[in-house]
Amino acid sequence: MATTFEQRPPSLPPPRSETGAVGWMRANLFSTWYNSLLTAVLVILILAAVWFGGKWTVTDADWSVIGVLGGQMVIGQYNIESSCPGQNCFWRPQVGLLLVTVLFGMGWAVAGGGVARQIALAVAIVSAAFALLPYSFDEMGIDVRLLLMANLPAVFVGWAMARYTPLGTPKWVGILAVVFFLLTLVLLRGIEGIPGMQPVSVLHWGGITLNILLAVAGITLSLPIGIALALGRRSALPVVKLLCVVFIEVFRGVPLITLLFMSQVLVPLAFPEDLKPNSLIRAAIIITLFSSAYMAENIRGGLQAINPGQIEAARALGLPGWQTTLFISLPQAIRNVIPAIVGQFIALFKDTSLVYIIGMLDIVEISRAFIQGNTEYLSSAKELFIFLALVFWVFTYSMSYVSGRVERHLGVGQR
């Protein structure tokens, strides 16, 4: 008997109203009458903000104060005559920037591209673009411009170093990061007796450079200290647990601005009489300890979220406690709380603007002091502080963007 098969008609594509941009808008913006109303109201508000904000930005705002401040927002009073006689110290922070660019290039090669490549190229291109600012050669000499332009080849030098030499490993990149940071501090501080390296007091360090230095030191040190405090708070040793709890609760219970005031008196007591720390070291210590207390609670939350069965399984396999913590509990805890850790890093970076309390001129304070001391620019204060807000937003959004990419790569929040 012959078998007949019924031929099914071909599947029709979904209607256009349910696919593409139209389908997305219908599902997310106009799914119900109240969603449609809310979308219309928001569109009107956004268009009004863009129209009036754009009009003020282009036609009414006076941005000349940004150009007048110029390099002071970057390095503060580092290269003025009173801090650097002859004003020939400009090259030292620029060489530090070149070292950073080389390091980003190495990170690009080690990470194999992706977000590391984007950051490395962005830093190099933006740094080199500063050489094209419309200043006269009296205000920005050819030597300054050449050093800034050198950041573009420097990123490829770093990439080649990591690609074709034994330095292209995460271990060496971490070691060189510490070495370059210390070398930058030496360059900025100077060495007595060496031509071109006359010492510059940290009281004259300022601008966004100061914010970045304090943030890098605080971020680098607060994470391991916070991990140690979190483990100590969960310790079975009563004395260790008590000390960690007291430290965490004291630093979390006192505002950072109060701690910075207290650093003028308390931090020198921890050093020998003939080795008094300067204001930069005092600020770095207080910011690091303050951030470590919050970091400890973030890490502790990650440790408590781990299923106890994993620790019991590790013990059943005969792993000692330190190996269980180091290779099983801690990596999972850090992975689980990456958003909280990065949030703390962002807060730390913004908190560096409080160092004006101890007489340091970060980018916010030097801008405020300029406006206060030059009354002809008082009407441009809003433009200046909008620009400062944009600067901080660029740094913090970059940290958040990198965090998001890392979370997606590690599958944070996915089962």
Name the DSSP class of 14.
P
Whether residue 302 is predicted with pLDDT greater than 70 in this model: the reply is yes
Return the ∠ at Cα 266 (arms to 264 and 269), rounded to 5°: 110
Determine the residue type at 199: P
Whether residue 3 is predicted with pLDDT greater than 60 in this model: the reply is no
Q: Which residues pair with 275 in a beta bridge?
A: none
Provide the CA 384 distance to its chain's centre, in angstroms: 21
Alpha-helix residue ranges (DSSP H) falling in 56-169:
64-69, 72-75, 91-111, 115-129, 142-149, 151-164
Enter the pTM of the model: 0.88
CA distance 120 to 106: 9
R_g of the chain, CA atoms, integer Å: 27
Whether residue 5 is predicted with pLDDT greater than 70 in this model: the reply is no
pLDDT at 64: 87
Contact assessment for residue 341 and residue 224, using Cβ atoms and an 8 Å cutoff: no
**CA distances in angstroms from 145 to 2, 93, 133, 205, 363, listed in the order given:** 87, 13, 9, 21, 22
For residue 100, the number of C-alpha atoms closer than 13 Å in the C-beta half-sphere is: 20
pLDDT (average), residues 391-405: 91
CATH placement of domain 204-372? 1.10.3720.10
CA distance 217 to 182: 10
Q: Which residues pair with 361 in a beta bridge?
A: 206
- Which tens digit of pLDDT belongs to each residue from 213-272? 999 999 999 999 999 999 999 888 899 999 999 999 999 999 999 999 888 877 777 777
For the chain, domain boundaries: 78-200, 204-372
pLDDT (average), residues 21-43: 86
How crowded is residue 40: how many other Cβ atoms within 10 Å of its Cβ? 12
Instruction: In the chain, count H helices and then E strands.
Output: 19, 2
Q: What does 24-84 look like in DSSP terms, one character per residue?
A: HHHHHTSSSHHHHHHHHHHHHHHHHHHHHHHHIIIII---HHHHHHTTHHHHBTTTSTTTS
Confidence of residue 310 (pLDDT cuts 50, 70, 90): confident
- Percentage of the chain beyond pLDDT 70 is 94
Whether residue 4 is predicted with pLDDT greater than 60 in this model: the reply is no
- Which tens digit of pLDDT belongs to each residue from 183-196? 999 999 988 888 88
pLDDT at 413: 61
pLDDT at 100: 95
- Which tens digit of pLDDT belongs to each residue from 94-105? 999 999 999 999
- Which tens digit of pLDDT belongs to each residue from 50-104? 999 889 888 888 888 898 888 889 998 898 888 888 888 889 999 999 999 999 9
pLDDT at 179: 95
Whether residue 1 is predicted with pLDDT greater than 60 in this model: the reply is no
pLDDT at 9: 66
Tokens of 246: 């007291």
Contact assessment for residue 102 and residue 165, using Cβ atoms and an 8 Å cutoff: no
